[in-house]
Structure 1
Amino acid sequence: MDYVLNPKDISWHRLEKPGFPGIGFEFSESVVDADYTSVYSVQLSKIGPGGKSKLHRDPYNHAFYVTAGSGSVRIGKDSWDVEVGSVIKIPSGEIHGFSNTGDTDLEFVVIYDPPYVAGTDPVQTLEN
């Protein structure tokens, strides 16, 4: 198990494949996963300027902590502006989507409950 990950050790994966609900969206591999706990998992994510995640719903709870940039999040029918320090909670099955409204990357820590590995569970996209 790696106890410390430095930024240069993190591999980023652009997720712009058919059916994926994002434009300009990148995720790290899990930085906290089954080698540490089976209760939750953690990834890092970023959306480039002008990028977004399309409205979608996921089959798990997840929470975001914004570490850089600014943007907006829609959850259900409501929208909020987000900035560094914002905490966003998305319950399982809730419709949501993010947009980067700034001119730098919108970066956040994502905590999944139960644990999740990107690309392993179906995500229901609700817009083109």
Structure 2
Amino acid sequence: MGRFIDIDAQTWKQVRPDVAHGVLGTTILNEGVTMTVTRVLPGNGFTAHHDAYGHLLYFLSGSGVVGVAGEEAAIRPGLTVRIQAGEEHYYRNTGSDELTLVSVNIPGNGR
């Protein structure tokens, strides 16, 4: 992948079909941390699950709900959510438009 990335020209693949439905992503960085641009179709999202790595979610557009470790918040553009390795988390698109975000996966040891 080059220095400049045209997101619209990337291949979009189903993300984590074991815990997600209607979630498509394209990975733009995979060098220790993984950065994925993610699209969530209306009425879809991730079910509650745990991962051995942390996340940083930055929501770009759309609306929905995100939950982490028993707390829940409304998704809006600009919301950023930090999820520690092992914390239960989920997010859903509750709007009528596509939900878009950047998801950064952080190795479990924080490095």
> Above 0.5 in TM-score?
yes
Identity %: 23
Q: Mind listing any 5+ residue stretches in structure 1 that lack a counterpart?
A: 116-128
Aligned-residue RMSD, C-alpha:
1.6
In the alignment, what sits opposite 1:32?
Answer: 29
> Which of 45, 48, 61 matches 1:68?
61
Alignment of 1:42-53 (within 5 A): 42-53=35-46
CA distance in 2 between partners of 1:68 and 1:5 (Å): 19
Structure that is richer in strand per residue? 2
SS state at 2:78 partner: coil
Give the residue type in structure 2 aligned to 1:12: W
- Cα contact 1:62–1:112 (8 A) shared by 2: yes
> TM-score with structure 1 length normalisation?
0.78
In the TM superposition, residue 82 of structure 1 has moved relative to its aligned partner by 1.1
Deviation at 1:9, TM superposition (A): 2.4
Structure 2: stretches of 5+ with no match in the other structure: none
Once residues 21 and 58 of structure 2 are traced to their aligned partners in structure 1, the CA distance between those partners, rounded to angstroms, is: 20
* Structure 1 runs, 4 residues or longer, greater than 6 Å off: none
Measure how far apart 1:16 and its partner are: 6.6
Give how far 1:12 is off. Answer: 0.5
Structure 2 counterpart SS, 1:31: strand
User: Size of the alignment, in residue pairs?
Assistant: 108
Q: Does structure 2 conserve the Cα–Cα contact (< 8 Å) formed by 1:16 and 1:24? A: no
Q: 2 CA distance for matches of 1:95 and 1:8? A: 31
Distance in structure 2 (CA, Å) of the matches to 1:8 and 1:52: 21
Letter of the 1:3 partner, please give it: R
CA distance in structure 2 between the partners assigned to 1:14 and 1:33 by the alignment: 17
Deviations 1:69-128 (A, max 9, x none): 01101111111101100001111000011010111111100111129xxxxxxxxxxxxx
